[in-house]
Amino acid sequence: MHIVTCVKQTPKSENIKIDPVTGCLIRAGADSAMNPFDEYALEAAVTLKEQVGGTVSALTMGPPQAETVLRDSIARGADRIYQLGDRALAGSDTWSTSYALSKGIEKINALQKVDVVICGKQTNDSDTGHIGPQISAWLQWPNAAFVKKIVRVNQKSIVVERLTEDGSEILELPFPCVLSVVKEISNPRVRSVKGRIAAKRAIITAWTADDIGADKEKLGIAHCPTRVVKSFTPTRENTAQIVDGTNGREKGKNLVSLLKENHLI
Ligand SMILES: Cc1cc2nc3c(=O)[nH]c(=O)nc-3n(C[C@H](O)[C@H](O)[C@H](O)COP(=O)(O)OP(=O)(O)OC[C@H]3O[C@@H](n4cnc5c(N)ncnc54)[C@H](O)[C@@H]3O)c2cc1C
């Protein structure tokens, strides 16, 4: 079985700030790591490989420094690592990002047939949850989102349990397919010493937009259908009002009067 896991380098959760002037995420200088949900996705892929045999490939789209999440993927059990990096990809929205990732997956598929693509549910920076379902739309492969368990797998299909608004449902998806997973899917392991050494030595296959045969009219900020009109960090206003009174009973009465005055009761 060949499993491709999409991993994204994101700022560590506590470092996410928005530039008040430009409205963009401030990525420069922020410590980065593998997007938390992608750790669960990768662990699910490695566990599946250990159960049924096969290969785990990790794929990222990002700038040169994103190679650290690919090396981390090797330390966590991936076998091959692929990076899409090209100035033409800069400023891509989710439509454009998922298109580029789907073209990367097509290229990986041409090298070795892909059975399953596993994405995290969402990222901790842009946080849309679009990418997994959008990749499946570009590839026209079936998709299950919010997958919490891999129930069983055979030569032709995978059976998964996914979260729904009011419980869960069991779906069977034929290969090739795309899954987006939630934290319940796995328990990420500690990186082994052997894995860390392999990570340092691993060779990254780096591709440009031309290498993956992407249509440049679908890439980058100039061609994205999405426009960010404004983004900002909400300011916290302290509008609490202290209700006075000489004792508890009086404070209670005053509170009731205040609520009535404001038509709240
Ligand atoms: C108009 C516009 C301009 C933007 N400009 C920039 C910019 O200049 N620079 C910038 O960094 N971002 C930019 N973004 C954000 C960028 O579009 C998103 O970071 C990207 O599309 C992924 O979306 P997400 O983080 O919401 O992923 P989600 O859909 O929340 O992620 C779900 C899963 O998809 C996979 N995934 C997501 N992104 C990647 C990736 N890059 N590689 C591999 N797997 C991935 C992971 O498995 C992840 O868990 C821009 C967005 C918009 C709308």
The total of structural domains in the chain comes to 2
Please tell me the distance between residue 210's alpha carbon and the centre of ligand 1 in angstroms.
20
**Contact by Cβ (8 Å): 178, 145:** no
Q: What is the pLDDT of residues 76-123, one digit of tens each?
A: 999 999 999 999 999 899 999 999 999 999 999 999 999 999 999 999
Domain boundaries, position 254 = 238-265
Are 219 and 88 a contacting pair, CB within 8 Å? yes
pLDDT of residue 208: 97
Same domain, 67 and 192: yes
**Cα separation of the two ends of the chain:** 63
My answer on whether 95 and 215 are in the same domain is yes
**Distances from the Cα of 224 to the Cα of 89, 92, 195, 207, 219, angstroms:** 10, 6, 38, 21, 7
How far apart CA 131 and CA 125 sit, in angstroms, is: 13
230 part of a folded domain: no
The three-state secondary structure class of 123 is: coil
- Whether residues 121 and 250 fall in one domain: no
Q: What is the pLDDT of residues 147-193, one digit of tens each?
A: 999 999 999 999 999 999 999 999 999 999 999 999 999 999 999 99
pLDDT tens per residue across span 189-229: 999 999 999 999 999 999 999 999 999 999 998 899 988 88
Ligand 1 lining (C-beta closer than 6 Å): 6-8, 35, 37-38, 41, 59-62, 90-94, 97, 101, 119-120, 122-123, 125-132, 221, 224, 226-228
